Homo-oligomer: A and B are copies of this chain.
């Protein structure tokens, strides 16, 4: 391991302590820490250590419940609604996905709509929980409104990601995890920080004109749905983001559309609420509800091999969704987790405030 890097165990222990200090029971804090560390391991630092400060500030503002009573409030044999009691999203989501898996074990397929939750981190974490149980897993969430419907300039949808994970046999699982927009919001922030323009087809200005300004959200602009523009199917990306919002927000009793609360303490809560907190939606299909599990896995291996061995565009490599994150996970587990010096400093300051240790390496 590179000695400038952190071991996953070190960070897991630290983050657990961090959330315990905020007031979480030990078991809950460990469950939350595991999602943060997994984001770092999978090479998705935008959902890792950098988010501790957001959580600290939301806690400080009294906007998170550290001892939530997460419970099923409505159910049938194959479905449930979970109220997260304003708990930390990673904890609520983990519990809800466990409920979906338990229901799928009994009926073949389980579905859980979640209300009164918060930002859940990486959706692939929950989808992969199903894979561990030989199921196909699905996780989605609505989010802070940034995206305008096709033909509109109003920010009504989040980047509303969808994660689907599928077990295979010899091959690693298929893991699709993607926002329903051309890019994640983070790419705009990075370009803005560097003073660079972004390609057209990511954002529009306040009048709906194509823009290459990564700061356009601050000027009344909006992100666009997957597809980019109408000629390239942005009405499809809009429909997809809308479906995520309806399942996560409308069906669960959470907030939806423009009412989804921001998970940043410096942004005020919307004055009007049409439900409780943020919404998620989880599903699991037992593969042996459709055919013997070994038969399915052999078919999935075949699928993966065919796609991986497809003829590439010259100089490129054809990937299976999840390849990049899995390769990152193998490498980072070996080399350790690298954290930007500025983030190390930020986390150290939080640790000092809470009276816990955090080693700055750089």
By the criterion CB–CB under 8 Å, are A291 and B81 in contact? yes
When A226-B237, A251-B290 are in contact, do A307 and B243 touch as well, CB less than 8 Å?
A: no
Q: Most chain-B Cβ atoms within 10 A of its Cβ — which of A166, A249, A258? A: A166
- Which of the four size classes fits the interface of chain A? 35 or more
Identify which of A43-51, A172-180, A334-342, A353-361 touches chain B.
A172-180
A79 contacts across to B, CB distance below 8 A: 107-109, 285-286, 289-290
| Contact among B237, B239, B299, B311 for A250, CB-based, below 8 A | B299
Residue A116 interfacial (CB < 8 Å) = no
Which residues 193-252 of A have a CB within 8 angstroms of B?
199, 201-202, 204, 207-208, 226-228, 231-233, 235-240, 242-243, 245-247, 249-252
The interface residues of chain B lying within 8 Å CB-to-CB of A235 are: 178, 319, 321
Copy total for this chain? 2
- Cβ of A257 within 8 Å of any chain B Cβ, yes or no, is yes
Instruction: Report whether A256 and B303 are in contact in the complex, using a CB–CB cutoff of 8 Å.
Output: yes
How far does the alpha carbon of A249 sit from the alpha carbon of B302 in the complex, in Å? 12
- A111 CB to closest chain B CB (Å) equals 5
Question: Is A182's beta carbon under 8 Å from chain B?
Answer: yes
Asked whether B183 lies within 8 Å of A233 as measured between CB atoms, the reply is yes
Q: In the complex, are the beta carbons of A78 and B303 less than 8 A apart?
A: no
In A60-95, which residues have CB < 8 Å from any B CB?
74-79, 81
When the two chains form their complex, are residues B207 and A313 in contact, meaning their CB atoms are under 8 A apart? yes
- What residues of chain B lie closer than 8 Å to A149, measured between beta carbons? 307, 310, 318-319
For A206, give the chain B residue with the smallest CB separation. B311
A2 close to chain B: CB less than 8 A: no
Q: A156-B307, A242-B321 are in contact. Are A232 and B76 (CB under 8 A)?
A: no
Residue A121 at the chain B interface, CB threshold 8 Å: no
**A111-146, CB < 8 A from B:** 111, 113, 136
A277 to chain B minimum Cβ distance, whole angstroms, is 15
Judge whether A151 and B316 touch: CB under 8 Å. yes
Residues of B within 8 A of A278 (CB): none
Q: Is the CB of B300 within 8 A of A246?
A: yes
Contact among B108, B148, B201, B256 for A111, CB-based, below 8 A: B108
Q: With A302-B274, A313-B207 given, is the CB distance from A236 to B285 under 8 Å? A: no
Tell me the complex Cα distance, A311–B207, Å: 10
Task: Decide yes or no: A166 and B199 within 8 Å by CB, A228-B228, A318-B149 being known contacts.
Answer: no
* Minimal beta-carbon separation of A250 from chain B (angstroms): 5
Whether A151 lies near B318 (C-beta < 8 A) is: yes
Minimum Cβ distance to chain B for residue A218 (Å): 18
Residues of B within 8 A of A76 (CB): 107-109, 286, 289
New contact pairs (8) apart from A251-B291, A256-B303, CB-CB < 8 Å: A75-B289, A79-B108, A79-B289, A153-B310, A166-B250, A182-B231, A208-B316, A242-B321
Q: B-contacting residues of A (Cβ < 8 Å)?
A: 74-79, 81, 104, 106-111, 113, 136, 148-154, 156, 162, 164, 166, 174, 176, 178-183, 199, 201-202, 204, 207-208, 226-228, 231-233, 235-240, 242-243, 245-247, 249-253, 256-258, 274-275, 285-287, 289-291, 296, 299-300, 302-303, 306-307, 310-314, 316-319, 321
